[in-house]
Amino acid sequence: MDRWRTVDRIFRRAIARPDGPDREQCLTDECGPDTSLRSEVEALLSAREQAESFLEEVVTREAEAVLETKDRALIGMRLGPYQIEREIGAGGGSRVYLGRRVDAEFELDVAIKVIRRGMDSDELLARFRNERRILASLVHPGIARIFDGGSTPDGRPYFVMEFVDGLPIDQYCNRERLGVRKRVELLVRACEAVDFAHRNLIVHRDLKPANLLVDREGQPKLLDFGIAKLLDPNPTLEAEVTRSFARPMSPGYASPEQFRGESLTTASDVYSLGVILYELLTGARPFPVASGTVSEIERVVCEQRPARPSTVVLRVPDSTREGLASGLGLEPRQLSRVLRGDLDWIAARALEKDARDRYRSARDLARDLEAFLQHEPVRAGPPSALYRFRKLVERKPRTIVATICAVFLMLSSLAVITRLYFDARRAEQISVERYRQMRDMIGDLLFEIHDGVASLPGATPVRRQLVSRALEHLATLRVDAATLSAEADPDLLYQLGHAYRRIGDVQGHPGGPNLGDTRGALESYEEAIRALREFCAMRPDDLAGLTSLTEVIDRAGELLHVGGRLEAAEARFAEAESLRRDALVRSPESRALRAGQARSHNRFALIAALRGRSEESVRRYREAIGIEDRLLEENSDDPPLERARAVDWMSLATVLAELGRVDEALAAFECSLGLFEDQRRRRPADVQIRRDFAVDCGRYVQVLLTRDRFDDALRWTEKAEALNHEILRDDPQNADVRRQLALGAQRRGSILLHRNELEAAIGAFESAVDDSSALATADPENFGLRRDL
């Protein structure tokens, strides 16, 4: 009995001390060397702790069960026009339910996020309000939209957002058995959504596959901005959120600076995207951890460098490796070769320990991934000339071979021509027929190879090289043409004029894909005009030559107009119209001349609008449309004329809007948009139609804004941006579509400003200024680009 009293006395004294050194010292003082006594007391202490833990677990479990039962009571409840159907997710202090709009306005499935009962602390409420505020500022096809918000009958806040019926990006890729290229394409689209958030000064801080769902259409959707951070926040709100959630993160995807509790920037999201990229490519995380504890993950993430994806893919389970390879039909080692190089470098750059060494933005990461897809050099790769040449060969092997052969043949041909010419001059035995044959061979090579290159997506860099080479050889032919007598070879002058016109189109014609070289294009057009004038002087009755001359004079006028030289442009247009009028007297049924007459009306309408003669502009556009209607009634299979008619309707609508005749303008826009939509449906691969359609959407938006139709304006802006991004994805160096994207960002800023979304509007305007400045710097002769700024 005395023994039990002693054990009880020491036990009670020990539990009065805090667990740790104080309690250990108490046991040492009371028990002394009696180890048996100490063991009995420690056994009682251990039993007490287990009992308390058990009771606490029971109480917590019962409390959660009660709260969950009450949360289930929301199912079937109506919140505003939405009825809660079932729970679809929970975590982070909130539950997400599937809801359905039931007010008979329209049918819509939504996701409703509600604070969990018992979790509505001040800190969690601040975090919830932060997420709602951020989602309201983000309108992007790659980000789940917010529709509504409010409070439940018992006072808990909720918000209603877009329901994404999809799978996490990694599960989607595995289910669809996507190959490497498809996975990279999918992540590029996710990067675009993240970059949009960054440009609106928002860092997500919790990017992971579970927050990147891919819907049934294959569109990635960014979700869960619950721990997102405003880079320029409301200080009170940010401090309130930060106090209780000092280091919110998902450890498997968190950056080193998140683990260290440092200030976060967009580079932290870039790191998380790098982890997702790594996982999509290899089926494994960059940092395998034995224990899986947060401290162990932190140590590995902050101290170890990840293995290269091309190495890891050989060590993952066979089922994962074969699933990755199946989309490309490659064996595992072949798959490793696909990952080796560009994708190894891109992943390593995104996963750098120091944020300053990573990609500066999600947009930069996306650009390198797009470069990989297009076989272009990636910025994360070595800057060697050999690497860049290898990428060029990978990108366009047939084109490179064809170009090299073409250049070789042209140079060889020119050498032969030159030799024959000088031999003939010295011997006075020049063979005009031999020269003509060689000339025709060079012309055919030049045009056929350029057309083959121009039809390929993303052909701008190769076209630039071919244009440079072609100009050198055309200059030589120009000298030869001047040396020969008029009777010897007038056809060479026609071919020279035709060639210079086509090269001018590639260099800078504003009506299509071009290299952004306005000055070079104008010089090429002037060379074409000189050659064709000489040809027409030799053959005044040649209708094809006269038609080509009027077309290239019009093109020169268009470039003068773009450069702000309106008087010179009008003089060119008048010259072309006069030549057409004289030719129509001789050939009134010529379809080419009548179509050219419509173009003349179009050009004069443009100048009249710029000079304030709006009524004259309207009359000219209507005359152009009338001629085009009659020609298409005679023969409807004329794609260039169909496009010209749609463009004239768009231009007419623009002038009517400037005159304040908004109803007429809207009707004209509906006509032009309908024509472009029909042409796009019939010719989906036509890049020019996509470009014109995007321009028309943008102009339509400007008129919608005058009627305060902001939702419609935003919808058409997004359509224009989607069309332009399609073109840019195929041809990243297309200067014309980059300008259209800059104008689109400017329109988006105006819409957001009208909707009082100031931060998002500022981000859109800054993007427009940055892009327009870069374009104006690259092409200083383009007055339109300076006007955009």
Q: Where in the sequence numbering do the catalytic residues fall?
A: 206
In this structure, the number of other CB atoms found within 10 A of the CB of residue 331 comes to 12
Nearest to 505 by CA among 428, 559, 543: 559
Three-class SS state of 634: helix
Nearest to 192 by CA among 718, 697, 773: 718
Rounded to a whole number of angstroms, the CA Rg of the chain reads 35
H-helix segments, 611-734: 614-634, 639-658, 662-682, 687-706, 710-730
- In DSSP terms, 221 is beta-bridged to 213
- Cα-flanking dihedrals φ and ψ of residue 324, to 5°? -65, -40
With 0-12 / 13-18 / 19 or more C-beta atoms within 10 angstroms meaning exposed / middle / buried, residue 682 is exposed
Nearest to 115 by CA among 92, 89, 87, 98: 92
Determine contact, residues 159/135, Cβ cutoff 8 Å: yes
408-447 burial, b at 16+ Cβ within 10 Å, e below that, comes to eebeebbeebeebbeeeeeeeebeeeebeebbeebbebbe
Nearest to 356 by CA among 288, 290, 267, 424: 267
Nearest to 192 by CA among 154, 215, 219, 216: 219
Catalogue the long-range contacts made by 447-455 (C-beta closer than 8 Å, 24 or more residues apart).
447/499, 447/502, 449/402, 449/403, 449/406, 450/502, 450/506, 452/399, 452/402, 453/396, 453/399, 453/402, 453/403, 454/506
- CA distances to 120, 251, 394, 462, 566 from 258, rounded to whole Å, are 26, 9, 39, 44, 58
- CA distances to 224, 537, 612 from 164, rounded to whole Å, are 12, 68, 50
Nearest to 691 by CA among 537, 446, 490, 509: 509
Nearest to 378 by CA among 368, 388, 391: 368
CA dist 253 and 564 (Å) reads 53
CA dist 567 and 570 (Å) reads 5
Give me the sign of the Cα torsion angle 198, 201, 205, 211: negative
In this structure, the number of other CB atoms found within 10 A of the CB of residue 379 comes to 14
Would strands 202-203 and 166-168 be described as parallel, antiparallel, or unpaired? unpaired
Nearest to 210 by CA among 167, 146, 162, 175: 167
Query: Looking at this protein, which amino acid is placed at residue 35?
Result: T
